[in-house]
Structure 1
Amino acid sequence: MTLREEARSWLEENLTGEFAHARGLGGPGREHEGHEVRLAWERRLGEAGWTCLGWPGEYGGRDATLEDQVAFHEEYARAAAPARVGHIGEGLIGPTILEHGTEEQRRRFLPPIQRGEELWCQGYSEPEAGSDLAGVQTRARLDDGEWVITGQKVWTSLAHVADWCFVLARTEPGSARHRGLSYLLVPMDQPGIEVRPILQMTGTSEFNEVFLDGARTAAGNILGAPGEGWRIAMATLGYERGASTLGQQIGFQREFAEVVATARRTGAAEDPVLRDRLVRSWLELDVMRLNALRTMTSLSAGEPGPEVSIGKLYWSEWHRRLGELAQAVQGRAGLVADAPPYDLNALQRLYLFSRADTIYAGSSEIQRNIIAERTLGLPKG
């Protein structure tokens, strides 16, 4: 039995009973849905060995090939399994610790991620350092065997449910830009940390502000040496666009199908302009998959190239246009909430949340700069 077949069979058998109603829960703009049952599901996945597939077996993984990882993510999306609550741990900090952490750090932090017992969030962006991440002003200093951290992070996804945060902080006084930054692992449950939810257009709050006022973490909870934070932070961002992107596109296909069904129901599919936009969107979705497969080829060779930035730019711009198309095919009904006070349908949520796609995880402007400078060889702006 192939891993794809094994995954398909396991998902069919386990998305039943207490998890039957978890199908389809969660995702962008809907992270408030069923957190407890999704957390239980995360632990079920971990127990059965369906988390962290590409990790070495000694840390709970399966040493799965990239092709098998892609197969799992595709089957997971096709089964409409609930959105993962541990994806930041598995997809971002886990691979970073594997590559840049000490053996002691791997033994401490990787098993709880694999078992779904500890959730993580990302402490990168700040009020004055979003796309320009090198402008980080959060500071940390060593005091009696601990890092003491003071500053503010913003747009911190799922900070309100996270146990740990990986924080980019300035540890060298007087340093600027990429120099003097360090990559710290910080426990969230402590007096020096306050989390404030940010109310989004969708009416939900999966993003947060995080205030650090003398927050502490052990001196050993640093990845790499002091001052190496920028290099390690960039490695983390590279992991963000791995095998799960092909599973993400199964979700995009499902959203596109709902837009088409709505266009047929409302008669919008008879409008030649909207019909042209629908056909163009379908073609672009197919191109997106082909580029994602090309990206997997470079990743499997251990040489992530410009395809990573091209992929992020492409899918985020496409998804935002799909959100606009979702509103257009609904007509005037798309402007009114389904029920008071603010009950949105799936296409309305798609439209509102997809406005953020071209900003988070690397804005379109930054991706264009990377492509221009590193691929086309154009001078820096």
Structure 2
Amino acid sequence: MTDDPATAAFRAEVRAFLDAELTPDLREAAARATSVFIEPAVSLKWQAILHKRGWVAPDWPEAFGGPGWDDMQRYVFAAECAAAGAPSLAPMGLKMVAPVIMQYGTPQQQAFYLPRILSGEDYWCQGFSEPGAGSDLASLQLRAEADGADYVLNGSKIWTTHAHHANRMFCLARTSTEGKPQAGITFLLLDMESPGISVKPIRTLAGDHEFNQVFFDDVRVPQANRLGDENAGWTVAKHLLTFERGGKYAPPLIGRLEALRAREGLGPVLDARLVREAVSLRALQALEMKAMRGEGGSPALYASVLKVLGTEAMQRQDTLACEVEGLAAWALPDGQTCAALAVAVPRYLNDRAASIYAGSNEIQRDLIARAVLN
């Protein structure tokens, strides 16, 4: 695809910025990352640089602090950041809770939270899943009892990414047991320093500390921190999940695949598999751009489709990376280790969860079937 003059000029501007501001230590940290969730010591450093330029939230409306880009500019920016090896930013604030604060928050909530999300002053985690309430999220049991101007929370959340770093959580809690399970859920914004909150680490197969279980013991949350109406949190959460599931999967995957294809001595079978994957990623890129333009389907439908295709492409690429880097490791002299394989294997293990989080891919296929096949 050839850029028109305006897009070419914008691409050149982005590349010049990345050349000047993306430091070697940030590139190296991104290259060594084994998860989409990079440690905040890295992601917040890059976020501060982007924030200074006004480019930290490409998808935000200009009225809330976004850069005012069109769809093509946003996609070009994502592609160039991926090609340059920029670290990813934590999505929980910028890409997940911020859009629902814009949609459902009061003017006071928007004025307080959104600038702090842009600057990185607030670092968020997501309190959705519970023991026994994952894909069946409506069965959640974290209880929020009204008490004066507060809710009092008791229960727990699990698989809470970066809860040990976060100072804020957006959370679903049960405020009613009447009617359908979805009808008694409320969306809350809370301070992780609140008395009664404790965080227990969960180690992954890759050996990372990324996940946690969070316990709530008589935790008081002001009712003023509710987002939307009481018992209407399911509607707020569905809006958020559209942003969590959808996204730009193709740009970083294309960049990583090109690096794998550049390796020598892979043999015709592995070469053919890499080419086939390159074609698949270009198709995914075309679908993402179609979704970006709002053509041919609802945002919720596209979010489910892209979540399935993007996460499964990620897992296929992880398998290919282990094979490619494994071949390279065999060629090394005794006693030498392959740094690339030391990244590829933990990434493979970490990304096994990609087809489960944000709603399992099996559930997404059900949603797609209902939307398309009635």
Normalised to the residue count of structure 2, the TM-score between the two structures is 0.87
Correspondence list, 1:73-222, <5 A: 73-85=78-90, 87-222=91-226
Contact 1:141 1:149 (8 Å CA) reproduced: yes
Q: Tell me which residue corresponds to 1:5.
A: 12
Q: Per the alignment, do residues 332 and 199 of structure 1 end up closer, same or farther by CA in structure 2, a change over 3 Å counting?
A: farther
Contact 1:29 1:202 in 2 (8 A): no
Distance 1:71 1:54 in 2: 12
Alignment match, 2:71: 66
1:352 and 2:349 equivalent? yes
Q: Which secondary structure does the structure 2 equivalent of 1:159 belong to?
A: coil
**Equivalent position SS for 1:151:** strand
Whether the aligned pair in 2 keeps the contact of 1:29 and 1:204 (CA below 8 Å) is: no
1:44/1:326 Cα in 2 relative to 1: closer, same or farther (>3 Å)? Answer: closer
Q: Equivalent residue for 2:367?
A: 370
- Compared with structure 1, are the counterparts of its residues 260 and 283 closer, same or farther at alpha carbon in structure 2 (3 Å cutoff)? same
- 27, 39, 42: which one aligns with 2:44: 39
Output the amino acid matched with 1:72.
F
Q: Report the aligned-residue RMSD.
A: 2.7
The one-letter amino acid paired with 2:267 is A
* CA offsets 1:305-346 (integer angstroms, 9 cap, x no match): 522211111121222122223333425958xxx999x99622
- The 8 Å contact of residues 113 and 119 in structure 1, kept in 2 or not, is answered as yes
Structure 1 residue 92 displacement after superposition: 0.6
Q: How far apart, CA to CA, are the structure 2 residues paired with 1:360 and 1:339?
A: 36
CA contact (8 A) 2:34 2:344 kept: no
Alpha-carbon displacement from aligned partner over 1:160-209 (angstroms, at most 9, x marks no partner): 11111110111014454211100000111122111122111111111211
Percent identity reads 36
Letter in 2 for 1:269: G
2:125 and 2:170 in contact (8 A); partners too: yes
Paired residues of 1:24 and 1:81 also in contact (CA < 8 A): no
Secondary structure of 1:345's partner? helix
Kept in 1, the 8 Å contact 2:154–2:219? The answer is yes
- Partner of residue 22, structure 2: 15
- Residues 131 and 239 of structure 1: is their aligned pair in 2 closer, same or farther, counting only changes over 3 Å? same
**In the TM superposition, what is the alpha-carbon distance from 1:31 to its structure 2 partner?**
4.4
- TM-score, normalised by the number of residues in structure 1: 0.86
Q: Cα gap change, 1:332/1:69 in structure 2, threshold over 3 Å: closer, same or farther?
A: closer
- 1:275 is displaced (CA, Å) by 3.9
Which string of whole-angstrom CA distances, capped at 9 and with x for unpartnered residues, describes residues 221-247 of structure 1? 1111101100110000112245x51xx
Distance 1:75 1:112, change over 3 A: same
Do the aligned partners of 1:32 and 1:206 also contact (CA within 8 Å) in 2? Answer: no
- Total equivalences in the alignment: 360
Offset at residue 4 of structure 1 (A): 3.4
**Structure 1: runs of 5 or more not aligned:** none
For 1:281-300, what aligned pairs fall within 5 Å after superposition? 281-298=277-294
| Match 2:35 to one of 10, 24, 29 | 29
| 1:261 Cα deviation from its structure 2 partner | 4.3
Higher mean alpha-carbon deviation, 2-11 vs 197-206, is at 2-11
Hey, what's the Cα distance between the residues in 2 that align with 1:328 and 1:178? 44
